[in-house]
Amino acid sequence: MEKFKKIIGIAAPFTRINVDTDLIIPAESLKTISRKGLGKDLFSYIRFNEDGSENKKFILNQPHYKSSQILVTGKNFGCGSSREHAVWALKDFGIKCLIGTEFADIFYNNCFKNGVLPIILKNNQIENIIKIISLAKTSELEIDLENQSIKTKTGKNIGFDILPYLKNNLLEGIDDISKTLEKKKLIDEFEIKIGKHYPWLNKKNG
> Footprint of another protein on this chain (CB under 8 A)?
15-18, 20, 22-23, 26-28, 30-35, 45-46, 50, 74-76, 79-85, 87, 102, 104-106, 109-110, 113-114, 163-165, 176-177, 180-181, 183, 186-187, 190-191, 194, 197-206
Nearest-approach distance from CB 13 to another protein, in angstroms: 13
Cα separation, 116 vs 13, in Å, equals 17
Nearest-approach distance from CB 151 to another protein, in angstroms: 26
Residues 133/13, Cβ–Cβ less than 8 Å: yes
Sheet architecture: strand order including 117-120: 117-120, 97-100, 70-73, 6-14, 140-144, 149-152, 157-159
Considering beta carbons, is residue 146 or 175 the nearer one to another protein?
175
Considering beta carbons, is residue 35 or 153 the nearer one to another protein?
35
Considering beta carbons, is residue 9 or 125 the nearer one to another protein?
125
Burial of 21 from C-beta contacts in 10 A (0-12 / 13-18 / 19+): buried
DSSP conformation letters of 84-152: THHHHHHHHHT--EEEES-B-HHHHHHHHTTT-EEEE--HHHHHHHHHHHTSGGG-EEEEETTTTEEEE
Considering beta carbons, is residue 36 or 137 the nearer one to another protein?
36
Considering beta carbons, is residue 146 or 176 the nearer one to another protein?
176
Nearest-approach distance from CB 38 to another protein, in angstroms: 11
Nearest-approach distance from CB 122 to another protein, in angstroms: 15
Nearest-approach distance from CB 6 to another protein, in angstroms: 24
Amino acid at 120: I
